[in-house]
Amino acid sequence: MKGRIQIDKERCKGCCLCVDVCPKECIHLSEGLNLKGYFVATFVADDTCTGCGNCAVMCPDVAITVSIADAAAGRRSAATVAADAPEIAAAVTADSHQATAAVAAKVTCP
């Protein structure tokens, strides 16, 4: 299965959480600003994305939608991905702000 993500550029605040959790390094921070003045995440590796959904689960701004190329699988929502990745979902839902801060502290984005 091949994955594809869509990032709502106007919702993204460039926190880099999606960049940090992507196991295939499919997401990078762009050099362009959105209307709010943030450098935003950009999907760059269409051929290597597996559609794991880690990015959508971690996004505090709900700016990422994950799609799977396999027609039988259809689109995966953050809730569906959360069922597939309970350890990530637990960290986010237990205390979203604390979990976001903990992951953000490890982010190596500029």
Residue spans of the domains in the chain: they are 3-104
| 3-class DSSP string for the chain | CCEEEEECCCCCCCCCHHHHHCCCCCEEEEEEECCCCCEEEEECCCCCCCCCCHHHHHCCCCCEEEEECCCCCCEECHHHHHHHCHHHHHHHHHCHHHHHHHHHCCCCCC
Indicate the pTM of the whole model.
Answer: 0.63
3-104 has which CATH code?
3.30.70
Q: In tens digits, what is the pLDDT along the chain, a chain of 110 residues?
A: 688 999 999 999 999 999 999 999 999 999 999 999 999 999 998 789 999 999 999 999 999 999 887 655 455 555 565 566 666 555 555 445 555 555 555 555 55
